[in-house]
Amino acid sequence: MTAAGVAPGRDEFRALAAGGRLVPVHRDLPAGQETPVSAFLKTDDGAHSFLLESLEGGETWGRFSFVGSRPALLFVARGERCELIEDGVERALPGAPLEELDALLAARQAVALPGLPRVCGGAVGYLGHGATRWLGWRPAEDPAADAPPDAMFLFTDVTTVFDHVAHTMRVVTHARGGADPDAAWRAAVARLDAEAARLAAPLAWPGPVEAATPPEPHCAFTPARFRAAVERARARARDEDVVQVTLARRLDAPAAMPAFELYRALRVTAPSPFGHFLRLGELCLCGAAPGPLVRRSDDTIEAHPLAGERSRGRTAEEDRRLAEELLAGERVRAAHALGVDLARSDLGRVAVAGTVAVPDWLEVERGARTMRLAGTVRARPRPDVGALDVLRACFPAGEDTGLPRERAVALAAALEPAPRGIHGGAVGYLDLRGGLELCGTAGTVVHTGGHAHWSAGAVVTADTDPEVALRDAEDRSRVAWLALQRATGAGR
């Protein structure tokens, strides 16, 4: 065992951990040619692991990427029941899922050390669309036995952090002082040594993945049925029962390739600021999101409402023209205005009075291949507000549901042929200092049991043309389909 380069050192750790406090212990490693993907492949244990990746962006959005495996705890919730899995032993928790998750985080709040990013420990995972039942919006019926859990979170033990601005790689764990702080520190150093050894090992270059070209995806929400649902949603909007509702079409296809190959294909097909791969046993989430649903860090909470989506131009002149058309579109501007107003209302529920501001109301946010209308809403949280309070205020994403959200969720559930499951939920992290960052799962492909499924939606208002809504949904589903073909070799 070597303690070279470990911070804090043993004596400093003993002082920081006084009273049984939880303290980060970390070591910088030479990044060399290492990437988040190569680090994930070296450390993934094939059971429970994650990669939260910054694919574009700089210091404002997506500066860091995070890799973790071998979690200390696994939190799982279905319906009104939740459990904790530790060392392979399942233990039922007595309370409601969000309250139990909040208690787990409260018991693990860590000392803040300068220079460390927030996500050097905490809970990484997802909330499915069924988690809306915990907000009291829907009857608390149990989900189907074969449905994915409504929520799963990995409580990380060791995290590797890539800083894409500083070009550094740091391995972080946590230790609690307790009766023998020196032993706790030595155990933390041993965990860092083990992870450093995994990262130092050579990585075999995998051969190309070849599989049969997947058949066209199946969708139970047929075009005819979708058009009829749009007409019914329009009628409800004309009656002013809802302002807008998002109707989502789920698509299913065989997926014989390894799940991580599908993620790698998706990050090439649709590079976005926030890529995520979560391995949760057989269930894997592969996704790319254009921006966070909500973020809370220190004394700031932020929402990043988005609307519309348009391909980038092939030339600078075409790109400029398409951006001007996007800005001039009445339908997308109206949807964006509603999204900004919703974000202001959401943050206002947990913010200090008078602090909700909109520093950026309307701008064109350009990604590698698409552009969207984007805004930023920012506020200062009240002192009594925790991460789960922010989640309750902002979940689910308005763009995935509609307005008012509760009515829109109920209407979509009545019109769509099957529950959304993970789609229409959120994925990201809850850290050990009361913060969080969650993205919507609209761009997430679920890989499980040799199959993949994803969802693509369209916003419906009183004047929406059913054909336009169907075309929007089909266009948004194409990215995942192209990634699936690329992952089999058929799209290369």
354-389: pLDDT as tens digits: 999 998 888 887 766 777 888 899 999 999 998 889
Q: Tokens at residue 131, please?
A: 């988690």
Beta bridge partners of 439: 292, 427
pLDDT of residue 457: 87
Beta bridge partners of 446: 285, 453
* Segment among 120-129, 261-270, 327-336, 352-361 with least mean pLDDT: 327-336
pTM of the model: 0.91
Helix, strand, coil % in the chain, rounded to nearest 5: 30, 30, 35
Structural element, H or E, at residue 289? strand 283-289
Q: 76 with 82: CB under 8 angstroms?
A: yes
Please say if the pLDDT value at position 391 is more than 80: yes
Query: Hey, how many other C-beta atoms are within 10 angstroms of the C-beta on 490?
Result: 14
pLDDT per position as a tens digit, 149-190:
999 999 999 999 988 877 889 999 999 988 899 999 999 999
pLDDT per position as a tens digit, 13-58:
999 999 889 999 999 988 777 889 999 999 998 899 999 987 654 4
Which residues, other chains included, contact 129 with Cβ-Cβ below 8 Å and sequence gap of 6+? 396, 400, 419, 420, 421, 422, 423, 424, 425
pLDDT of residue 59: 41
pLDDT of residue 196: 92
